Chains A and B, each alone.
Chain A
Amino acid sequence: DSGVTQTPKHLITATGQRVTLRCSPRSGDLSVYWYQQSLDQGLQFLIQYYNGEERAKGNILERFSAQQFPDLHSELNLSSLELGDSALYFCASSVAVDYGYTFGSGTRLTVV
Chain B
Amino acid sequence: GESVGLHLPTLSVQEGDNSIINCAYSNSASDYFIWYKQESGKGPQFIIDIRSNMDKRQGQRVTVLLNKTVKHLSLQIAATQPGDSAVYFCAGSYNTDKLIFGTGTRLQVFP
Contacts and interface: CB of A to CB of B under 8 A. Distances in A.
B104 A42 contact: yes
Interface residues of B, number: 23
A97 B93 contact: yes
A100 B46 CA distance: 8
Interface in A22-52: 31, 33, 35, 41-45, 48, 50
Interface in A79-102: 90, 92, 97-98, 100-102
B103 A42 contact: yes
A65 to B, nearest CB: 18
Contacts of B36: 103
B103 A58 contact: no
B44 A43 contact: yes
Interface of A: 2, 4, 31, 33, 35, 41-45, 48, 50, 55-56, 58, 90, 92, 97-98, 100-106
Interface of B: 31-32, 34, 36, 42-46, 49, 51, 89, 91, 93, 96-104
Question: Which 6 pairs from chain A and chain B are nearest by CB?
Answer: A103-B43, A42-B103, A43-B101, A98-B32, A103-B44, A105-B43
